[in-house]
Structures are given as C-alpha cells and as structure tokens.
Chains A and B, each alone.
Chain A
Amino acid sequence: MLTILFWNLNGRHLHPLVAQLAQKEAIDILVLAECKVAYPDLLNALNAGNFRKYVMPFSPTRRLQILTSLPFKSLRPIHDAGSISVRRIVPPLGDELLLVAVHLPSKTFQDSPEQTFGLVRLAGIIEEAEEKVQHNRTLVIGDLNLNPFERGVVSADGLHGVMTRHIALGGSRVVDGVRRKFLYNPMWSRFGDNSIGPPGTYYYRGTTQTVYFWNIFDQVLLRPDLLPFFRDEDLKIITKIEDVSLLSSSGLPDKSAGSDHLPILIRLSLNR
C-alpha cells in the first residue's frame, strides 16, 4: 500500500499536526504547499521519537515540499516548473508511479483563461514525463485552484479529468484529430452534503453573483492504468487529526486550528 497526502498549509506553522497525521496514517509521501516551516523544524517534527522517518529528497524548488518515508532514492526528480513538480516514485516493492504535484496560481492572480492555459501547460508536462518514464501510471495531486468541473480540468486540451471510472477506463478519445488520454477525477463525488466527508476542501463566501461556497480545489486525478490499484473509499478528505478538529463548530475549515484548505489522502495498493 502506498499512501500519499497533500495539504496546503496556508503559510501556517502546522508541522506538529502534519507530523501527527503522517504517523497516524502511515504516510509514505507527503506533499505540502504554502509551507513556510524551515526544513530542519519540519524534519524534526516528523522524525523526533517516531518510528517512521522522513527524508526530503533532492528538490531545487521551494513552492512544493515533497517528503517521503520511502528509501531516499525512491523519489527521483523528473521536472520542476515553478508550481509543478514531477517525480518518479520507485518503491522497494510494486510498480513504479509518476507523481505530479501541483499548486497552481490562485484565482486572485489569474483570470479564467490564464488558469485554463496553465492547465494546458500542465497537461503537456504530464505527457512529456509519461513519454520519458515509458508508462502511464500517473497520479496528479495538489491545489489546482480550480474545481473539478471547470474548463481547464475537464477539457481535452487540459487535464481531461472525467467523473466516472467507467469513462476513464475507456482510456482516451479523439478531439480535433488528436488522441487525448483521460484522467479519472474521483473528487467529483465529494461535493455537497451527501458525499463521503465534508462538502469540499475549501470554503469561500463572496459577494459576487455566483459563489459555490464549498470548493474542491485540492484534488487527486489518476490515469486509467492506476485504477486497478485504487478503490474510491481509499480517498479521504481529512477533517480531524487525533483530537484536533480541522473544522469549526459551524462545519467550515477552521483557520485557527488548521489551514483554510483541508488535507487530502489517497492510498494505492501498488505492492499487490
């Protein structure tokens, strides 16, 4: 089993909570965005007195921090492009994986077309990396700053993220004469009251005409080749770490206890 966690820390010093979560959930790969904790403090919190030890493999980028409890050389850098980090994961047991960690620009800094072009660029980087590693066992995880239903995430030129396994297992479709591979986006089914867990990962109440209140900017998407290793119930939006609730009494992300984003966790049974 390979367990991956993503959390946008919103610049807060949440390393003690991250450490508790990492140990409790036996996380193999930890991806952090907006992490302003100094590396020694982060590693110290993760490792002090704990059985599971984390390392920070070579990475020249600062926007995303990727740590692992796997052997040091299990995480191999493929590409860093500012807010995008691509890593080849070679676990001691089981098939290898292509990890694409992202923290894309906020809606505050980019308008919708700019965000869509950003996703087109991300899709190109993923395709290049898949070509390089010669497989399609790709997992995209991170804060896209877009919802699963927005153009850049759904469109064929973008991530081409679809809402059901059945569609994703079709593999691809031809658009404008070009074959475009699918990604399965299980986050579609995590919206609203009748979903497993909270209604989203990020809450925003604005004064404009259209506001969703709950958003799912923090997402995980998988290529069909990974679907045999993934059960939908193995994806969680975390709302509690030991005794600390990440939600306020009104059920919204509690920025005083945690971050404005909730963490997401996925398990893959790659070593079967």
Chain B
Amino acid sequence: MSTTDNLWGEIPSQQEVRAPIVILREQASKLGELTNMSLVGNVQITRDYASISMILRIIVPSLDNYEYDVLKATHEALSYPVKVYDFNDTLATAKSWEPIKCENEVEFIKVVKGILTSETTHKVIASLLAQTKI
C-alpha cells in the first residue's frame, strides 16, 4: 500500500487578515448607520489587467444621488500591499496625487482612518448633511 507524500509542507494556519474590500465595505455601511441613511456609503469595484481597485464613495439620496469619491484603494492579486489614493488631499503627509503604500492591514486601517477623520472629510460630511436639510 503506497502512501502519498505531502509536498505541501505544513499549511500555515488561517490568519485573521481582513482584505481592503472588507474594511471599506464595513466603513461604507457604518456611514449610513451614523447618519440615519442621510448619507450612504458605497464601494465601487473595478478591475483592470493586473489589479483591483475599490472606490469608497458617499452618496446623498436627497441630492438626486449626488456622489462624492473619498478614496481609492488598489492592489494586485494579493490583498496587501495596497495603494491608497487620497482623492481630496485630506492628509497633510501625502503629496497630491501620490498613492500611499500600505504594507498590511494595520497600516491600511491607519491611513483610511486618517482620511475619514480628517478635517476635510468631516467638513464635506457636514456640508452634505446641511444640504440634505434644505
């Protein structure tokens, strides 16, 4: 009786790594909760030859579904590293149009949090919420 050799070696245990798309979708959903759905978060996914891109977007239903793009995250086959484009220059540390490279989930969360809690983003959210009341 022959036994099959294990050529795989020891399979690494599954780590609790959350992909950028999961994190962005959570935050998109959170925005709706926080604003009683006055503002709705959305993640648009596009694919090109070698990479996948996700755009985190705010939609304002009462403004004829006006859309405001907050950031874009792009990665290749592996979830990390991921490049983040801060569309509205909310982070003082980032130069305009240059992507911010995040090597792992922790770095990605830090950058996304920086953008979402920035003064610029909060001013935009306040401005959009004000428009919903007109």
Q: Which A residues are within 8 Å of any B CB, using their own CB?
A: 58, 60-63, 76-83, 105-106, 109-110, 117, 120-121, 124, 132
Kindly report which residue of chain A lies nearest to residue B121, judged by CB atoms. A60
When distances are taken between beta carbons in the complex, the residues of chain A under 8 Å from B123 are: 60
Interface pair A109/B98, CB less than 8 Å apart = yes
Given known A-B contacts A76-B64, A81-B69, A109-B98, A58 and B131 have beta carbons under 8 A apart: yes
Interface pair B97/A79, CB less than 8 Å apart = no
Q: Which B residues are within 8 Å of any A CB, using their own CB?
A: 46, 48, 55, 63-69, 85, 87-89, 95-98, 120, 123-124, 127-128, 131
CB-contact partner of B68 in A60, A62, A109, under 8 A: A60
Interface pair A82/B88, CB less than 8 Å apart = yes
A106 to B97, CA, bound (A): 9
A117 to B98, CA, bound (A): 15
Interface pair B69/A109, CB less than 8 Å apart = no
Interface pair B66/A77, CB less than 8 Å apart = yes
CB-contact partner of B88 in A61, A105, A109, under 8 A: A61
A202 to B65, CA, bound (A): 37
Kindly report which residue of chain A lies nearest to residue B66, judged by CB atoms. A77
A78 to B69, CA, bound (A): 11
Interface pair A77/B69, CB less than 8 Å apart = no
CB-contact partner of A105 in B55, B63, B66, B97, under 8 A: B97
Interchain residue pairs A-B with the least CB separation, the first 10: A82-B87, A81-B69, A105-B97, A109-B97, A60-B124, A79-B67, A77-B66, A80-B68, A60-B127, A82-B88
B83–chain A nearest beta-carbon distance, Å: 11
